[in-house]
Chains A and B, each alone.
Chain A
Amino acid sequence: MPLTKEQIAQRIARELKDGYYVNLGIGIPTLVANYIPVGVNVVLQSENGLLGMGPFPFEGEEDPDLINAGKQTITTIPGSVFFDSAMSFGMIRAGKVNLTVLGAMEVSDEGDIANWKIPGKMVKGMGGAMDLVASAKNIIVAMMHTNPKGESKLLPKCSLPLTGVKCVKKVVSDLAVLDVTTDGFKLLERAPGVSVDEIRNKTIGRLIIDGEVPEIIFN
């Protein structure tokens, strides 16, 4: 069975290390915050100007002045701090944010990422994604392995306008966990019940399969 969006987030959460400052993008990446392992303390950065993002507020306690980068209402936690947008991207550019998790429309086997524009169709803008991918040391992409037409999103070369080049380090899709290496996507783990052949068939970019590929185990 392919992973659900929640399970993709759950798997990515295992990459978090104690003391990390983490920026979570919109969509599946936001869900990662629900699965931070016990004993691992991370500080969530929201690029609109907050370190120490808390959970969503209770009904009736929403504060219009307190939102995350997805414009969702949120809360603060003890130790939270607000700052302006230049400082926010300053800390990103200076490499202070340890891990960035974001979604993608396409990823290439060299680590290029496209996620902001479909020419002639959809132009929402890059928001902070180009700044994040240009500077973050560790970038994990959370996405579906194929598009709604069933076509691979893991490609030799992105067909859509790029967000950043040679920056993605890891991909967690609904089918697999893959590292981006100099030789292409290296298959590390597969979704429970999903065969290596299926992943091979749905990955157009260079794919490295080295020995037995374990299934992802969920508790």
Chain B
Amino acid sequence: MNKVVANAEAAINDIQDGSVIMFGGFGLCGIPENCIKALVKKGTKNLTCISNNAGVDDFGIGLMLYQRQVKKMVSSYVGENAEFERQMLSGELEVELIPQGTLATRCMAAGYGMPAIYTPAGVGTEVADGKEVRNFNGKDYLLEYAFNADFAIIKAWKGDTDGNLIYHETARNFNPLMAMAGKVTIAEVEELVKPGELDPNYIHTPGIYIHRIFQGVNYEKRIENKTVRKRNV
């Protein structure tokens, strides 16, 4: 079994128009930069993207939005992307905004083989429209279904050729959840090593969930909101 592919182009080569794809990352932190660029280059269209955010105008998923490759976004927060907001308000882009914890847990449910979960997030709001409400121990909860994604595209820090993965700092976010949730999961990593080089105690995602892996190149790791403090003189 060989999971290693040469590069992002090879990893995403069979993704067809109309696919449902999960993208790991929070803001621009921990996003699969290489695969996004490859999808932009390939021009795959009518995509449904499940991702916490939609990138910014000129980076991340924003690049795909700019080329009108996205039919529908499923996200929790899209505030940093003017083109996204324009397409959404004009009705060109279908958008499903869902609570961030619900997004994470619907990924988790898919990865754990559970069809649905109950969460209190959104009870009494428009998020609850059309959803089953059930009361447990005096509190209302919404029934939310596990995602069903054709592909999950994620980014890890280190990986081995068996697909075992370790994430770095807050670049972990949705990546391990989506890794478990895709029918086909593609992992791009900053450093690809041989099996045995990663300590089994510190592996976050077992390779069983990973179908394709490659070492990415030229990570830009753009910072969305650089905030610093002054040194005391």
Contacts and interface: CB of A to CB of B under 8 A. Distances in A.
Contacts of B231: 58-59
Interface of A: 46-50, 55-59, 61-68, 70-74, 76, 82-86, 88-90, 92-93, 112, 120, 123-131, 134-135, 161-165
Best-buried of A48, A56, A161 by chain B (most CB within 10 Å): A48
Given A84-B174, A89-B100, A128-B76, A71 B122 contact: no
A20 B224 CA distance: 29
Nearest to A26: B79
Nearest to B168: A65
B229 A126 contact: no
Interface in B167-201: 167-177
Given A56-B229, A164-B125, A134 B120 contact: yes
Interface string B44-88: 000000001000000000000000000000011111100001001
Interface string B191-233: 0000000000000100000000000000001111111111100
Contact of B26 (A74, A85, A89, A92): A85
Interface residues of B, number: 60
B126 interface: yes
Contacts, number: 178
Contacts of A70: 225
Contacts of A67: 26-27, 29, 170, 223-225
27 contacts: A48-B26, A57-B228, A58-B228, A58-B229, A62-B226, A65-B157, A65-B168, A65-B170, A67-B223, A72-B226, A73-B223, A82-B167, A84-B172, A84-B176, A86-B104, A92-B101, A93-B119, A123-B95, A124-B85, A125-B75, A125-B79, A125-B97, A127-B76, A127-B77, A130-B102, A130-B121, A130-B122
Nearest to B88: A123
Given A49-B170, A164-B123, 13 more contacts: A46-B170, A63-B169, A65-B171, A70-B225, A71-B80, A84-B172, A84-B177, A86-B177, A89-B101, A123-B88, A125-B78, A129-B99, A130-B125
